Chains A and B, each alone.
Chain A
């Protein structure tokens, strides 16, 4: 076991845990954002650099600080490590720079993009990004590709997190897509537009942190904040069958896997559940899914707000805004969310 201190909060974690996962055990605002790390995918992380943190004390034995900011998703903890995330201006400045880099080639087509409203990059740039751009050159653009009849690839929006490639590697039998070329020309593609039709290929839509891979059966059907997410399940022989139905009236517009509060899926679903059963009668509906009240999806007012819980959470935030140390987030007061949108939390 190793004792680490992140932004003044000490937590004990098993050896070999990464800093990011140690921070997630504490929870709340001190968790570094992650665009490429994905718990359920092996070897993910280390690519997007938004989870950079400062290690001010390497370990109890060797208290020297680490010379550079480190990627928290790839750095394992050591006993007595002291880490600064949101309490370090250097980290926030670096994160701002990383977001600017991610946005260099990313188009500003959120009004068209189906991912808008549940997009990790949108949340991240809202918190850390600039309103303007300093980039004066031609942006990298690609033609849209249909990979298979169910998935649309907008390579222009891709931030090369490699999550979808890992999904193809680890979940499906035959990988037919990957990253071609190198450097700023790198692009995700299939070999001569071969269709991706493995049973679990649809999960690459869910793991995509931006709108690069989108569901063609949901394309332009509705903005996510006009749909109502409902937890539902069915008996499926291929997968767990636990999904979220995005409904409008009695129509099921889209089926996705259940994402936790860090936007990660732990139980992947098969293509049959995702595409073939867009009918409420096929599902056992469990009830409305909890959505973080900071998310635009909660604008739909489909769920009663628990005012007492909300009051507790707001009071907790007020303590933080006074410059005092944040009391640890009570697990019952932070909701499991579709996107960990926490705009009002860190910067007051």
Chain B
């Protein structure tokens, strides 16, 4: 008797109206019809998108800096922070003439996130010292094969001409921190 809602079942013989079931069926149909005129709980997903919070943790993006160079330096902190061990990477050294492509002398030649392992906790975003990886409000597309859920750099790095805005994800405290001169070495 935790909820005080339990009922004692009494087995008594049904009368005529109860036995033909028609009133009960009619009552059930009435409830169904009533719901036809109520607001729908579902939306038609690919065409209509539900509004999500600005800090929603969806598909990742690897950011470029203001000149279009990749910010990621393959430091491995996201991979070591990842509780699902979904991130793997291979580093490479930047060659002469690639300064516009990569921000620092080391870059990730391979960067993969296994989206089936990822639990979207956002720890990679927090671990990143270079503001390179962010989670966005995009929802990852569905697919038929497991292989296609291993997202490489082709799917993760933002295109130069189609930048993904993440400024809303950064709280005023973070933006203030970045302006502080005392932390200017930490850029």
Contact = CB atoms under 8 A, between A and B. Distances in A.
A and B held together in a complex: yes
B58 interface: no
A221 interface: yes
Nearest to B90: A222
Contacts of B74: 220
Given A220-B106, A225-B80, A108 B75 contact: no
B92 A220 contact: yes
B45 to A, nearest CB: 38
Contacts of A108: 185-186
Contacts of B130: 111
A112 interface: yes
Interface string A123-143: 000000001111110000000
A168 to B, nearest CB: 26
Contact of A112 (B80, B104, B180, B186): B104
A182 B183 CA distance: 30
Q: Which of A108, A116, A220 has the most CB of B within 10 A?
A: A220
A219 interface: yes
A226 B79 contact: yes
B75 A133 contact: no
Contacts of A195: none
A70 B106 CA distance: 41
B105 interface: yes
B93 A219 contact: yes
Contacts of B186: 108, 132
Given A108-B186, A111-B130, A133-B182, A223 B76 contact: yes
Contacts of A134: 182
A contact face: mostly helix, strand, loop, or mixed: loop
Nearest to B79: A226
Given A220-B91, A220-B106, A222-B91, A112 B79 contact: no
Contacts, number: 49
A112 B103 CA distance: 11
Given A111-B129, A112-B104, A219-B93, A225 B76 contact: yes
Contacts of B92: 220
Interface string B71-83: 0011111011000
B174 to A, nearest CB: 15
Contacts of A112: 73, 75, 104-106
Nearest to B105: A112
Contacts of A133: 182-185
Contact of A299 (B80, B93, B129, B182): B80
Contacts of B184: 133
Contacts of B76: 222-223, 225-226
Nearest to B128: A111
Interface in B64-111: 73-77, 79-80, 91-93, 104-106
Given A112-B106, A220-B92, A132 B80 contact: no
Contacts of B182: 132-134
Contacts of B91: 220-222
Please indicate which of the listed interface residues A112, A116, A134, A221 has the most CB atoms of chain B within 10 Å of its own CB: A112
Contacts of A110: 75, 129
Given A133-B185, A220-B92, A221-B91, A111 B80 contact: no
B65 to A, nearest CB: 14
Interface in A95-130: 108-112, 116
A109 B73 CA distance: 10
Interface of B: 73-77, 79-80, 91-93, 104-106, 129-130, 180-186
Interface of A: 108-112, 116, 131-136, 219-223, 225-226, 296, 299
Given A133-B184, A135-B185, A220-B91, 15 more contacts: A108-B186, A111-B75, A132-B180, A132-B182, A132-B183, A133-B182, A133-B185, A219-B93, A221-B91, A222-B76, A222-B91, A223-B75, A223-B80, A225-B76, A296-B80
The 4 closest A-B pairs by CB, nearest first: A111-B75, A132-B182, A223-B76, A220-B91
19 contacts: A109-B104, A111-B77, A111-B106, A111-B130, A112-B73, A112-B105, A112-B106, A132-B182, A133-B182, A133-B185, A134-B182, A219-B93, A220-B93, A220-B106, A221-B91, A222-B76, A223-B75, A226-B76, A299-B80
